[in-house]
Amino acid sequence: MAENSSHPEQEIEQLKQRIRQYNHEYYVMDTPSVPDAEYDRLMQRLMALETEHPKLKTSDSPSQKVGGAPLSAFEQVTHEVPMLSLDNAFDDEALLAFEKRIKDRLKESAAIAFSCEPKLDGLAVSLLYEDGELVRAATRGDGQVGENITQNVKTIANIPLRLKGEDIPRRVEIRGEVFMPKAGFEKLNQRQKEQGAKIFANPRNAAAGSLRQLDSKITAKRPLMFYTYSLGLVTPDDFSLPDTHSERLALVASWGMPLCPEVDTATDGNGCLAYYQKILGMRDALAYDIDGVVFKVNSVDRQERLGFVARAPRWAIAQKFPAQEEVTVLEDVEFQV
């Protein structure tokens, strides 16, 4: 597709069509046909054109939307608090520009602290606990409506069926990522190969395909894990929670929820850049795949003042790592429903 097109309207339409098709392949079918880096390039181009020509930006553009429609084979779950995506930074300058935007919007000149977290390459999941018991699990879907995958999630060994502790909210939604550790992925593919079954392209697709099975006995055989990264709905509204995101993660961990050991905090944007380098250096040695790191303004009060745009919070950003695999093996991905 020609860039710097003299027909922006036409280029935008073509980009939207291609991105919609790739979204369907990735989110609905779990069978991407292009590498993530190519998808990201097209999305960046679409966003640049929409910024340059604001009149051509429509609310149905994929740049304004989260994920894909839930599969009709599953019961649908409406998220009481929408599950959004994340904005991306592809280099250090973009990360520092994010920090500056935040300070400008908050009209604060002092350093802003961040929660720093690996960007786990799996599937976003919402877990609802009532009176401490896991009663519902759902995928993100299109951010408003996801798929009910409660039976499948109950087979994941490190997700507690019951929270521990005396002082927990009556209803609490815990969000995080379901993923397949690298070793489990290799073993699964080895087993699939021995059995003449289909080979998975990468741990992300294996996790997504395994979680969105109609038969939870199949999910039970798959080596899935979960790490918590945020709180959704909390009832009652006046339940006393700490003021920072990192303390809230620690609280959720004290209820027995698994937390990624690499989460940390930084006192400012430069601290975030140091964390990025540290995690990038550890990437190959980590037991699970990551495609970047996520920075979140640590103060929940500041998060609330910053709010959201169409598909992502203003108070968080994903700084992506350089692409590792450029080509996704298409025919090797399992078709799960």
Per-position x/- string for 55-84, each x denoting binding to ligand NAD as judged by CB under 6 A, each - no binding: -----------xx-----------------
* Residue 59 CB neighbour total at 10 angstroms: 7
Strand, helix or coil at 97?
helix
Among 74, 129, 185, 229, the residue binding ligand NAD under the rule CB under 6 A is: 229
Q: Kindly indicate which of the ranges 35-43, 74-82, 94-102, 150-158 contains the residues binding ligand NAD, using the contact rule CB under 6 A.
A: 35-43
- The DSSP symbol for 251 reads H
Least distance in angstroms from the C-beta of 34 to ligand NAD: 5
With CB under 6 A as the contact rule, the residue among 61, 318, 319, 333 that binds ligand NAD is 318
Distance (Å, rounded) from C-alpha 138 to C-alpha 9?
37
Between 34 and 89, CB nearer to ligand NAD = 34
Cβ at position 93, least distance to ligand NAD in Å: 19
Q: Which is nearer to ligand NAD, 132 or 279 (CB)?
A: 279
Sequence-distant (6+) residues with CB within 8 A of 262 are 117, 118, 279, 282, 286
3-class secondary-structure state, position 277? helix
Active-site residue 119, yes or no? yes
Report residue 11 CA to chain centroid gap. 28
Q: Are strands 316-320 and 87-89 parallel, antiparallel or unpaired?
A: parallel
> Which of positions 149-188 make contact with ligand NAD (CB under 6 A)?
177
CA dist 246 and 243 (Å) reads 9
Please tell me which residue in 55, 57, 107, 119 is annotated as part of the active site.
119
Mask for 285-304, x = binds ligand NAD (CB under 6 A): ---------x----------
Site for ligand NAD in 230-289 (CB under 6 A): none
User: For residue 131, is it left (φ>0), alpha (ψ between -120 and 50) or beta?
Assistant: left
Q: How far is the CB of 151 from ligand NAD (least distance, A)?
A: 21
Q: Coil, helix or strand for 7? A: coil
Sheet order of strands, 171-179 included: 133-139, 123-130, 171-179, 225-235
Least Å from the CB of residue 232 to ligand NAD: 12
Q: How far is CA 126 from the centre of its chain?
A: 11
Which 108-147 residues touch ligand NAD, going by CB under 6 A?
Answer: 117, 119-120, 124, 140
The residues binding ligand NAD (CB under 6 A) are 22-23, 25-26, 32, 34, 36, 39-40, 66-67, 85-86, 117, 119-120, 124, 140, 177, 229, 294, 318
Active site residues: 119
